[in-house]
Amino acid sequence: MSEKEILRINDNLTVILDKAQHFKSTTFNLYIMEQLGANATKFALLPLVLKHGSKNMPTLREIESRLDNMYGAQFNVDVFKKGNIQIADYNLSVLNDKYADGSSLIEDSLKFLSEILFNPLIVDNKFKQKYVEIDKDNLKKMIEARINDKRIYAVERCIELMCKDDPYGIYPLGKLEDMDSVDENNLAEYYNDLIGRTKMVIVVTGNYNPEEIVREIKDIIKTNSQSQDNYSTGALIPKIDKPKKYHETMDVMQGKLSIGYTDSVDPSSDEYFSLLLMNCILGGGPQSKLFANVREKESLAYYASSRLDKFKGILEIYCGIEVENYESALKIIDKQIDDIKEGKISDHEIEASKAELEYAYKSISDSPDRRANFYLSQLLTGDSYNLENYINKISDLNVDDVVNAAKKLSKHTIYFMENK
């Protein structure tokens, strides 16, 4: 059983209360936002530096000691993007108060997050140089790691090229070439600017007293009550008359093909549910057309899948192929989409894909982080449906709905990576 409530504390702070009785922990996902742009690298670096130490907890050892005293609380940071918004997730998971021998872990948790975010280790208007240099090196390794995973890199590279004139083309962890210009002085200056204007969203998941949570948040989390920025996920990527083609060479054993399509579907509209089912039939799992025909029947690909980006109106197909199969793969991929547009969809494909999506949305309920991410997406799109609504909406769809969704697809970018 879950009860969700959205409270706007002020213009810059929104709280989402996700009261879920089956969790023995309380999880805080505190999201800070920035518009994707020139400060992307600094924004991505900040959580690493802030996690390294605060004024009252100046070392990692002292932070770990504080977490140990909170019954082994877990604290992590992450940076990602939703549309044109760059988001940092400060994630803290603690034992539910009723298992904590009378300790107020709710209060302790919010004080910990407040200390990390609002009382950083800034002395003489600069962060500690040692921490900044260590975390710059860590961030560099994180950026380089995605390049080393060629399968993921090809997917992201296609999106970068497809969105090269849109902020969404910026990688959420920033750019390697920006790293040398960041130092302890300008990072502190950026922090002071950001913290005064950023939008914050706190999602609290667990079995707790909502009134206590809201009271503690108002007492402890001090934000600027006057809104400074209005963040936007940005417009959907527009379709173009002729698809763009890109070929790049890297050290790879097999070719990586990624194809980006625009879908022109408003993510807050009911049409989005048709798009979800269409994508699942196309490339969402072992029951999909791409898997059954491109990979299994024709043996043209080592893997073949598709994915959606709801915020930018993008569907992307990605597969691993031999270089000599490039043209054949393009043709058979086109055929799968054409078949869906023509209604050549079996009852099994429809029902298996509905079951796949039902399982996927039900599984969100089992993870506090996935629940928080789902509710954040809803907040950004203005979508008011809950997980049960999603499952019911998908269950009610028919072949015509899927056909209409497929007819909205327009090929935009073809990216192929092959060996040097």
Residue 334's nearest CA partner among 266, 406, 235 is 406
Q: For residue range 285-342, what is the model confidence (pLDDT) as tens digits?
A: 888 999 999 988 888 889 999 999 999 999 999 999 999 999 999 999 999 999 999 9
Question: Following DSSP, what letter does each residue of 379-399 receive, concatenated?
Answer: HHHT----HHHHHHHHHT--H
Backbone φ and ψ of 265, nearest 5°: -110, 125
Q: Give the pLDDT of residue 340.
A: 98
Q: Give the CA radius of gyration of the chain.
A: 23
CATH fold match for the domains 2-220 and 244-419: yes
Q: Which regions in the chain score pLDDT beneath 70?
A: 1-2, 102, 225-229
Q: Give the pLDDT of residue 228.
A: 61
Q: Give the pLDDT of residue 2.
A: 59
Entry pTM = 0.95
Residue 54 carries which DSSP code?
B
Residue pair 48/121 in contact by the 8 Å Cβ criterion: no
User: How much helix, strand and coil, in percent to the nearest 5, is found in the chain?
Assistant: 45, 25, 30
Q: Which two tokens stand for residue 160?
A: 């970068």
Q: Which two tokens stand for residue 407?
A: 């007819």
Task: Round to whole Å and give the CA distance between 280 and 12.
Answer: 37
Is 2-220 assigned to CATH 3.30.830.10? yes
Say what the alpha-carbon torsion angle 182, 185, 190, 192 is, to the nearest 10 degrees: 160
What single letter denotes the amino acid at residue 230? Answer: N
* Residue ranges per structural domain of the chain: 2-220, 244-419
- Number of helices (H), then strands (E), in the chain: 14, 13
- CATH for 244-419? 3.30.830.10
Q: For residue range 162-186, what is the model confidence (pLDDT) as tens digits?
A: 999 999 999 999 999 999 999 999 9
Alpha helices in 149-175 (DSSP H): 150-162
